[in-house]
Amino acid sequence: VWSGWKYRAAIMVALSLKIGVGNVVKTMQFEPSTMVYDACRIIRERVPEAQLGQPNDYGLFLSDEDPKKGIWLEAGKALDYYMLRNGVSGSRY
C-alpha cells in the first residue's frame, strides 16, 4: 500500500493510499483508523476496475522492494495497525 500522511487542518490527518488494480493506479484517502475490510469495500465502490470478480478474492497487499517480503493486510485490522507512512511502496487490490 503506497501511503502518506497528509495534514488537512491542524487536527485532521488522512492516510493517502495508491491503489493498483491491473494497470490502473488511483489515489484514495482514508482515516488511519479505517478497517482494512472497510477500505476494500470503499475501493470496490469507487474504482470500477475493482468490481470484477468476487470481493473475497481481493484484499490489500503491502509490497516491499524485496518481492518475498510483502504481506496481505488482515481484514480485521485498522490501516494504522501497519504504521503506514510516506514512502512505503506498493499495493495491489
Q: Residue 51 has what pLDDT?
A: 80
pLDDT above 60 (res 7): no
| pLDDT band of 24, cuts 50, 70, 90 | confident
Name every residue whose Cβ is closer than 8 Å to that of residue 29 and which is 6 or more positions away in sequence.
Answer: 6, 14, 15, 16, 17
pTM above 0.75, yes or no: no
Tens-digit pLDDT profile for residues 26-82: 888 888 889 999 988 998 888 887 787 777 777 888 877 887 888 889 999 998 898
CA 75, 81, 12, 47 torsion-angle sign: negative
Which residues partner with 8 through β-bridges? none
